[in-house]
Structure 1
Amino acid sequence: MEDLKVLWQKIKHLYKVLCQEEWNPTMTGILVALLSILIMAWWRPWGAVGAIRNWGDWMLWHAGIFNGDLAELVGFVNEDGDKILTKSILFNTGSVIGLGFIAGAFISACLGGQFAFRFPPIREYVKAIIAGILMGIGAALAGGCNVGGMYNAIGNLAANGFAMWVGLLPGVLFGLWLLYKEMEHISWGSGGSWTLEIPFFIQLIFGIAGVVGIVWCAHYYATFKGEEFVGYITSLSGILLIAAALGYTMQRGRWCMIQGFREPHMTGDCKMAKSVALSILIVAVGAAVLKYGVANRLGGDPVLDPMNYVRGTFGWGGVVGGFIFGLGAMLAGGCGSGALWRVGEGQIKLWVAVPFFSISNSLMVAWFSAYNFEEKGYLGKYLYLPDALGYGYTMALILAFCTIWYLVVTWNEDTNKLLLPM
């Protein structure tokens, strides 16, 4: 009996570590990077705005706004007017990543006893609408949100990731300054917040049901029987599971990239900033291996298409888009990925922001696509860094960038020289 008691204590401790305690930011950043490499090796890099835009496309299509030639432009129908399966929210890779990500965050929140319906003050709903619109516009200009436009873009050795980073920082700082002014001068709509708590036992049931549901959906994709897109759909099983693991990891570590930009200038805390820098560096190493690889050296194809996440936004589009997105993310209280895992834990403000993010990004991207903005170089250039510098110098550049970022934020943590005063 004593041995069983000890074993039970070990099980409870393991559950607490895996499901209830907040994970260390550095460990979380490393896990996010490893899962990012894993999903790249499985099929493609992950992102948040691909899902969010697909949902916006889907809403606008069903509302009759995307029809005729526009429906063909955004990929819902072919030239014969037939529906395209891969634009469905259940079969589009981006959408599956987003749904899996939210499901993973939901499971994490429920198993940790952290899920609740959190209704914000009235003013926050207005900010959520504005924030969602700004994030959608910024992500369209930059060629992605903080994930696809910056984190995975730099990690995939694309110059446009650096352009968005340059815009994100002042955008976040401007958003922080506006929040300070809001606290100082605006009192309207500060009331009305409340939280609907869910008993832990119910949350535990929901969490277990979420795990079962994810496994069932992955099995459905893996065993899909059909005449068309079979290989495509069966591969969605791995996409779903890895995305759920990303959502679980980021919710458990409360890992938000915008926090890595905000906290050094708000409180001086640099833990998240260091974690993001380290995570980007690890992803870059993994992407270099997958995009170069043994096959490439022997004259074959690399594991991962080198042009993945290389966008024609290395220029004003990336910088201005980053600024607008950073401002929107500050008003929303979460970036692209941060918004999705907060949706999964019941943050109603983000439930409002994400649909506006979806629709604004969908409309902007459709407009850009109709006139080939990116292809004609209106937003900037396509630049895959190894094409210009070679793989060695590219990796040296990313290492130097992450090292300087690390040194600056740690120096600021000790000196508080870069704090933005209230």
Structure 2
Amino acid sequence: MEKNEHILSTRRFLPMFLTQFFGALNDNVYKQALLLVITYGLIQQSGSISTLNNLAALLFILPYFIFSATAGQIADKYERSFLVRSIKILEIVIMLIATAGFLLGNLWILLFALFLMGTHSTFFGPIKYAILPEILKPNELMSGNALFQSGTSIAILAGMILGGIVIYASAGNLLWISLTVTIIAIIGWLCSRFILRQNTTATDLTVDWHFFRTSFQTMRYARSLPLIFLILLGNSWYWFYGATYLTQIPQLTQQNLHGSEHVVSLLLTLFSVGIGVGSLLCRKIGGTEVNIKMVPFGAIGLTVFAVYLAASLAFIPERSGDFIGISEMFSLGGAYWHVMIAITLLGISGGFYIVPLYAMMQAYAPRSHRARVVAANNIFNAIFMVSSAIFSIIILSVLKIDIKILFCITAVLSAMFSIWLLLRLKPLVASTKTSLED
């Protein structure tokens, strides 16, 4: 019998893990490269940098609203290994379009390619999470999700770093970033060719191509499953919370820490590493059985360490002159160390919180509707992330409230939501387990 610790070396799991990893890597290499191209004016553009960056963020998330429900139907109807390979071929085509944008210096082609990458991720999402319960045994599901979350965190971090390195090292020659994203897409497609053929679960399903109607129907279906709906709300709250903090890290670094862009990268790295560590520890501490034991610990950490971060920022001394770098930040110690520790612990808490919820979503979703449940999850995630942006704008820009207060408000909201969620979730999980055993 295969041991859980070795699922990463199995033909069942490894090709899917690598396909997901290189997809997330390419997303972030391309997004980071585009951000730097816009910020440093490496191609001709019209409009402010801030407007273009926000437009780019909107274009990437917009497909989740439009196409998620249809993507879920397709993932339930058709054989999933074939779908993954087809989507990976589409990624190669998208990167060739991006290459044309880079080489022609056309920002609108690059933004169109970004929208297509968001569409690619939208169609891949329901497949990758619906496929895990098919390729893994029940006692491997927690391990699989932990590895998926850890791999995604590493891919996001590596993508941001690689995108920056290629742009800076190429000294304005955008051929190199074009080659980079195209090669990564090809590697992802090669990995997808080794994914085992899957059983289809709803071959008689008729795909509804009316995107908005399908989205409402998918959300309504998720709402009809009380346990699943609560799990999706828990997942989406995590994305609201994470987006609130990650979006503010550049501003926090510049205004509160008086740090350079390298300090921004350091803090993002600490947060990503924290999520990866928390995801792996979640499986080690919580066990292999799908359960919610670690969710309360994650919820407590998301509240306590948010307050810890806000308190640490209050003790950062006022500075003038040049922005500090990473080495100076480490040498200053004191409150700076506390900020770094708090951000790392927030990431670890996030891993504790999200891994069990994703495993529960896969384990308890009806097999015939599993991909559509994941699609509903993606729609709710997108809604909560947009709500996070509006919430932060109101707090910081409209009400002119300090960023430390924003963190404290978010911490209090997180505590209130988590208490409500766990009080509702525990009895439903217990009754569902009992019915499954019977």
Q: TM-score, normalised by structure 2?
A: 0.30
Q: Which of the pair is proportionally richer in helix?
A: 2
Which structure ranks higher in relative contact order (CA pairs < 8 Å, sequence separation ≥ 6)? 1
